[in-house]
Amino acid sequence: MMRLTRWLVGLCGVALIMAAAAFLPRLWPDVGMPQVADTHPDTGDAALIERGRYLARAGNCIGCHTGPGGEPYAGGRRIETPFGDLYTTNLTPDAASGLGTWTAADFWRAMHHGRSRDGRLLYPAFPYPDYTQVSRADSDAIYVFLQSLEPVAADTPPHALRFPYNTQLALRIWRGLFFEPGEFRAAPDKSDAWNRGAYLVEGLGHCGACHTARGRLGQTLASADYGGGRIPGLRWTAPALSGASPMSAARAEELKTLLATGVSRRNVTSGPMAEVVFHSLQYLREADIAAMVEYLRQLPPTSPTLDGPAGLRVPPSQAKRLLKQGRALYVDHCESCHGEDGLGEPRRYPALAGNALVTANATSNVIRSVLEGGFGPSTAGNPRPYGMPPYAHQFSAQQTAAVISYIRQAWGNEASAVSPLDINR
């Protein structure tokens, strides 16, 4: 008996060693610094700087790499993650605190391989799992643009990650499991617009960083591509970009207007997406927006349940009371803008009837919108957006749940009632 146990333990040990040996090659090639040739792009080339400025907009570098009240691109914004807080780095060419001593090869190593100049592995909150698709030529252009900025001396606050996530070993394992440097390959059977859209959405746009669900270790789940996801650190959910059926031409036109101006006939961008439009998408050429939409409208369908956790179940008798109360509140507080028919007003107040944000399985966005209100983004196409008042200080949790339950079931909307217990979760 003893011998059998010992034998079994030994067998397990051998199996473990074999498994580790099989995994090691995944870790090993990563150990040394990837050898990267320097292309020596011309940092004085005005056209290249402009190209880089545009591409940096497409990548929304400024959105994360600008601290509150800080200089653009000088970093310092806190990024909340489930593993602790990270602070974004200074991208201006300051020698001591920024990228002043970096070469184009160093920059490419960060964008493509996720390694810093000194070889440190970078945290994937910097979306290099997406940026790895960006071409070397585009990476060089962004580098040249960043080097053209006024240097700003701004040290990055130290990251505040919990053990073991604050170790390079943890990153090495994470990368072994979830990251491989990639390269964008055009699909020959697709149109040029589709391919350009795919390049922008998958690469610089890093749309999947929010719109794809993440696993326990923060990796985006390939099985849930663009099925929507909870945004790490924020109480917002990024809705699914892939639908059950392909997007109609009319909806594609709406989406183009929404991405370019922040507002469309029926919709308004809010929360983190308003920031993306404000800092990034409004600056993109019409053809690039059209290309992104062309790619998005042909995404393969995913299950819509991936857009976030559903709320608590509300018993039918309580739901009935909530709906009655919600209807009265809607008439008093919401109807003057969103209308008796829930259709809102084009380019001013979003329609609530048929609005996927309102009826989403994950209720966090509609709850945030009612509690916090907010403006759509100021853009060239819509410089003076209308805004929604916050109701956090006017409505109790019960009233908030009531009005949301009502709009989720009025005008043909068919979504579950929302429990008052979900409001402040």
Partner 1 sequence: MPCRLLALLCLFLASPLAAQPASPVSPPIPDMDNRMAACAGCHGEYGRSQRETYYPSIAGKPAGYLYEQLLNFRAGRRHQTQMQQMLTPLSTDYMREMAAYYAGQTAARHPSDADALDPAAAARGEQLALHGDAALDVPACRDCHGAGLRGGGPYVPGLVGLRREYIEAQLGGWQSGARSALAPDCMATIAQRLSGEDMAAVAGWIAAQPVQPKAAGETEIGPLPMNCGAVR
Tell me how far, at minimum, the Cβ of 425 lies from partner 1, in Å: 18
Beta-strand pair 374-375/387-388: antiparallel
Name the CA radius of gyration of the chain, rounded: 24
Q: How far apart are CA 50 and CA 148, in angstroms?
A: 10
Q: How far apart are CA 410 and CA 408, in angstroms?
A: 6
When binding is defined by CB under 8 A, the residue of 377, 401, 422, 423 that contacts partner 1 is 377
> Interface with partner 1 includes 346 (CB under 8 A)?
no
Beta-strand pair 229-230/160-161: unpaired
> Interface with partner 1 includes 350 (CB under 8 A)?
no
Residue 38 in tokens = 């320097």
Q: How far apart are CA 381 and CA 272, in angstroms?
A: 19
> Interface with partner 1 includes 72 (CB under 8 A)?
no
Tell me how far, at minimum, the Cβ of 67 lies from partner 1, in Å: 9
CA of 266: how far to CAs of 257, 293, 356, in Å?
A: 11, 17, 11
* 311: amino acid identity, one letter: G
Q: How far apart are CA 231 and CA 308, in angstroms?
A: 10
Neighbours of 10 (CB within 10 A): 10
Comparison of 87 and 391: residue with beta carbon closer to partner 1: 391
> Interface with partner 1 includes 71 (CB under 8 A)?
no
Tell me how far, at minimum, the Cβ of 210 lies from partner 1, in Å: 16
Site for partner 1 in 200-229 (CB under 8 A): none
Show the binding pattern over residues 240-269: x = contacts partner 1 (CB under 8 A), - = does not.
----------------------x-------
Contact predicate 76/13, CB 8 Å: no
Tell me how far, at minimum, the Cβ of 74 lies from partner 1, in Å: 13
CA of 42: how far to CAs of 38, 99, 102, 104, 154, in Å?
A: 12, 16, 14, 10, 26
| Residues forming beta bridges with residue 237, ordered by sequence position | 230
When binding is defined by CB under 8 A, the residue of 68, 188, 300, 315 that contacts partner 1 is 68
Site for partner 1 in 87-146 (CB under 8 A): none
> Interface with partner 1 includes 390 (CB under 8 A)?
yes
Chain centre distance of CA 315: 34
Only one of the segments 68-76, 118-126, 130-138, 310-318 lies at the binding site for partner 1 (rule: CB under 8 A); that segment is 68-76
Comparison of 262 and 350: residue with beta carbon closer to partner 1: 262
When binding is defined by CB under 8 A, the residue of 193, 373, 413, 416 that contacts partner 1 is 373
Tell me how far, at minimum, the Cβ of 90 lies from partner 1, in Å: 17
When binding is defined by CB under 8 A, the residue of 27, 161, 252, 337 that contacts partner 1 is 337
Contact predicate 241/296, CB 8 Å: yes
Q: 338-353 burial string, b = 16+ CB within 10 Å, else e?
A: bbeebbbeebebbbbb
When binding is defined by CB under 8 A, the residue of 216, 249, 393, 412 that contacts partner 1 is 393
Tell me how far, at minimum, the Cβ of 78 lies from partner 1, in Å: 11
Inter-axis angle of helices 192-202 and 286-297, to 10 degrees? 90
> Interface with partner 1 includes 274 (CB under 8 A)?
yes
* Total binding residues toward partner 1, as defined by CB under 8 A: 29
Tell me how far, at minimum, the Cβ of 62 lies from partner 1, in Å: 13
When binding is defined by CB under 8 A, the residue of 188, 300, 315, 383 that contacts partner 1 is 383
Residue 318 in tokens = 């309580």
Contact predicate 264/355, CB 8 Å: no
* 350: amino acid identity, one letter: P
When binding is defined by CB under 8 A, the residue of 386, 397, 411, 416 that contacts partner 1 is 386
Only one of the segments 123-131, 293-301, 354-362, 367-375 lies at the binding site for partner 1 (rule: CB under 8 A); that segment is 367-375
DSSP H stretches of helix in 101-152: 104-108, 128-131, 136-147
When binding is defined by CB under 8 A, the residue of 40, 162, 320, 348 that contacts partner 1 is 348
Only one of the segments 67-75, 134-142, 398-406, 407-415 lies at the binding site for partner 1 (rule: CB under 8 A); that segment is 67-75
When binding is defined by CB under 8 A, the residue of 87, 283, 295, 391 that contacts partner 1 is 391
Place of tokens 């409208």: 297
Classified as helix, coil or strand, 230 is strand
Tell me how far, at minimum, the Cβ of 390 lies from partner 1, in Å: 6
Q: How far apart are CA 110 and CA 36, in angstroms?
A: 11
When binding is defined by CB under 8 A, the residue of 73, 108, 278, 395 that contacts partner 1 is 278
Comparison of 168 and 336: residue with beta carbon closer to partner 1: 336
Contact residues for partner 1, defined by CB under 8 A: 68-70, 262, 274-275, 277-278, 337, 348, 372-378, 383-394
